[in-house]
A and B are shown apart, each in its own frame.
Chain A
Amino acid sequence: MSLAAQPPDPQQLKTWLLAAANKDATAFRQLYNCTSSKLFGFALRILHKQELAEEALQEGFVAIWNNAAAYQSHLAAPMTWMATIVRNKAFDVLRRSDDTVEIDADQFDSEVMNALRDPQATPIESLQLSGDAKALAFCMSALEGLHRQVVALAFYHDLSHSEVAQQMALPIGTVKTWIRRSLERLRTCLAKREAS
C-alpha cells in the first residue's frame, strides 16, 4: 500500500460490516481487502513474528464475521472495533504460544513516532489514520516522550504497571503516576479537540 493511500472510508466500512452481518461474503471480502493491511501491520507490531501475526489476523477476521451482527456503530468506528478484536486475538495467540515476544521500547513505526514527536516535521495528516486516530495522535504528541512511551508500551503489549516498570527500568510508583496523568491529559485534550 502506498503512503498516499487514503484511510478506508468509515461509512463504507460500516456498510460492509452490516452486509457481513447478513452473511454477505462479497461485502466481507471487500472489508478484508480494505482493512487487512492495517490490521496485519497492527498484529505484527504486537507479535513481531510473521506466522503469529497471520494467525491473529485469521482468528480476528473469523471473529469479525461471526460477531458482525453485534457491531454497534454508535459505540465505535468500524476500524476501531475490528482492531480491538484483532488485538484481543493477538494477545490470545501470544498466551498460547511458547514464544516470548521481544518488546522494543521504540513502540511505533518510525514514521508514526516522528509524527508524534514533532508534528511540524512530519505532519500527522500524512499518516493513513482515521479521524479518531488522528485526534489521538495529536494529543499523544503533546505528552512528554517517556510518558507517551509508557502508555504505548502498556497498550501494545498488554502489560501491567509492574511489567512496564520492569521494561523501562523505572519505579512502579512513577509508572502509575505517569499513566494516570497521561490518561487524564489525553481525555482533556481529546475533549477540547472535539469541542473546537
Chain B
Amino acid sequence: MNIRGNDVLRQKLASEYVLGTLKGGARRRFEGWLHNDADLRNITAEWRQRLEPMAEFATSVAPPKRVWQQIEQRLHLKPQGGWALWRDALSFWRGLGMASSAIAALLVIVVATRVLDAPQISYVASLTDEKAQTALLLTADSRHGALEVRMVGNAPVPADRDLELWAVPKSGNPRSLGLLADKGSVKLALSQRAIGSDVALLAVTLEPKGGSPNPDGPTGPILYKGNWVRL
C-alpha cells in the first residue's frame, strides 16, 4: 500500500498509532513507513503533542520512598554509596601514582623556573578528566598561604552549577576547599585541610550553585581528580 499523497489516511493512521488503536501488522507496517518518511514522522510527532498530554489527566499520587531508593540503587546515583566511587578513584590514582607524579613534577619545574619572583611552591597537582586529559593545575604556595587553581582551557559549566574542589582524606568525609571558576584561575586559602598528610585524593565535582548542599561531602559527579606531589 502506498500512503504517500493521501493526507487523510496519513493523518488517520498517525493519530491511531499515537492513540494506540493501531495494532498488530498494521502498526508494524506503519513503523516501517516512519523509517523513511520524514513527513510522516512530523505528522506523528504532531499527534503526540496533541494526544499524549492526556497522561496528565490522572490525579497526582505521591509514590512511596522506596521507589526512589530503588532507582538510586539501580543507577548508582547515591553520593554516599558514592564512597565506592571515591574508593575506585583512590585505587586508580594509586596505580597511576608514579606516572602522574613525574608529569606533575615536570610541570612544576616549568612553572617555578619561569617565574623569577617565585612563590614558594611546596605542592603541585594536576587534575585530569576521565580521558586522563589535564584540566586543572593546582599549586600550593606555603610562603603566602595560597592555593592557586588554574583551569587549563575551559570547561563550560551550566549557569545554575558550580565546580567545587575537595580534599578527600584516607578516612572521614571529603573536605571542601572552595568553589572554582570555569575558566582562568582562582586563589584559595591554603591550610592543612588541603595539604594535610591524610589527603588521599583531590577531586572536583559538579554541584548546585553555591556548592554542595551537603556539609559532609559532594552531591554531584566527579569531573576531575588527581593528587598532590610534594616538592
List chain A positions with a Cβ less than 8 A from chain B: 1, 5, 7, 15, 18-19, 22-26, 28-29, 32, 36-42, 44-45, 53-54, 57-58, 61-62, 65, 75-77, 79-80, 83-84, 86-87, 108-109, 111-112, 116, 127-130, 132-133, 135-137, 140, 151-152, 154-156, 158-161, 164, 179-180, 183-184, 186-187, 190
Complex Cα–Cα for A25 and B223 (A): 13
Query: Is B5 part of the contact surface with A, judged by Cβ < 8 Å?
Result: no
Shortest A173–chain B CB gap in Å is 14
Shortest B72–chain A CB gap in Å is 8
Chain A interface main SS type: helix
Complex Cα–Cα for A109 and B206 (A): 41
**CB-CB < 8 A to A53: which residues of B?**
63
Known contacts A54-B63, A54-B64; decide if A137 and B57 are in contact (CB<8 Å): yes
29 contacts between A and B (CB under 8 A): A7-B56, A19-B161, A22-B158, A25-B75, A25-B79, A25-B221, A32-B68, A36-B62, A37-B61, A38-B56, A38-B58, A39-B55, A40-B62, A40-B63, A40-B67, A42-B55, A42-B58, A53-B63, A54-B67, A80-B48, A112-B59, A130-B53, A133-B56, A136-B53, A151-B19, A152-B54, A152-B57, A154-B19, A155-B19
Of A19, A25, A83, which one neighbours B77 at CB under 8 angstroms?
A25
**CB-CB < 8 A to B64: which residues of A?**
54
| A72 and chain B: residue at smallest CB distance | B45
**CB-CB < 8 A to B62: which residues of A?**
1, 36-37, 40
Query: Is B71 part of the contact surface with A, judged by Cβ < 8 Å?
Result: yes
Complex Cα–Cα for A76 and B54 (A): 13
**CB-CB < 8 A to A108: which residues of B?**
57-58
Closest 9 CB pairs of A and B: A83-B55, A133-B53, A37-B60, A133-B56, A45-B58, A40-B63, A25-B77, A132-B53, A109-B59
Of B12, B20, B59, B160, which one neighbours A111 at CB under 8 angstroms?
B59
Complex Cα–Cα for A154 and B21 (A): 6
Query: Is B169 part of the contact surface with A, judged by Cβ < 8 Å?
Result: no
Is the Cβ of B52 less than 8 Å from the Cβ of A80? Answer: yes
Query: Is B50 part of the contact surface with A, judged by Cβ < 8 Å?
Result: yes
Is the Cβ of B21 less than 8 Å from the Cβ of A179? Answer: yes
Shortest A102–chain B CB gap in Å is 16
Is the Cβ of A164 less than 8 Å from the Cβ of B21? Answer: yes
Is the Cβ of A44 less than 8 Å from the Cβ of B58? Answer: yes
List chain B positions with a Cβ less than 8 A from chain A: 11-12, 15-16, 19-21, 23, 45, 48-64, 66-68, 70-71, 74-75, 77, 79, 158, 160-161, 206-208, 219-221
**CB-CB < 8 A to B160: which residues of A?**
15
Shortest B164–chain A CB gap in Å is 12
Of A36, A75, A111, which one neighbours B45 at CB under 8 angstroms?
A75
Is the Cβ of B48 less than 8 Å from the Cβ of A84? Answer: yes
Is the Cβ of B59 less than 8 Å from the Cβ of A61? Answer: no
Is the Cβ of B75 less than 8 Å from the Cβ of A65? Answer: yes
Is the Cβ of B48 less than 8 Å from the Cβ of A75? Answer: yes
Known contacts A61-B71, A154-B21, A187-B15; 18 further A-B pairs (Cβ under 8 A): A15-B158, A26-B207, A29-B77, A40-B62, A41-B60, A77-B53, A80-B53, A83-B56, A109-B58, A111-B59, A135-B53, A136-B51, A155-B20, A179-B16, A179-B19, A183-B15, A186-B51, A187-B11
**CB-CB < 8 A to B60: which residues of A?**
1, 5, 37-38, 40-41, 128
Is the Cβ of B56 less than 8 Å from the Cβ of A58? Answer: no
**CB-CB < 8 A to B52: which residues of A?**
76, 80, 83-84, 87
Complex Cα–Cα for A152 and B50 (A): 13
Is the Cβ of B67 less than 8 Å from the Cβ of A57? Answer: yes
Is the Cβ of B58 less than 8 Å from the Cβ of A186? Answer: no
| A189 and chain B: residue at smallest CB distance | B50
Complex Cα–Cα for A42 and B64 (A): 15
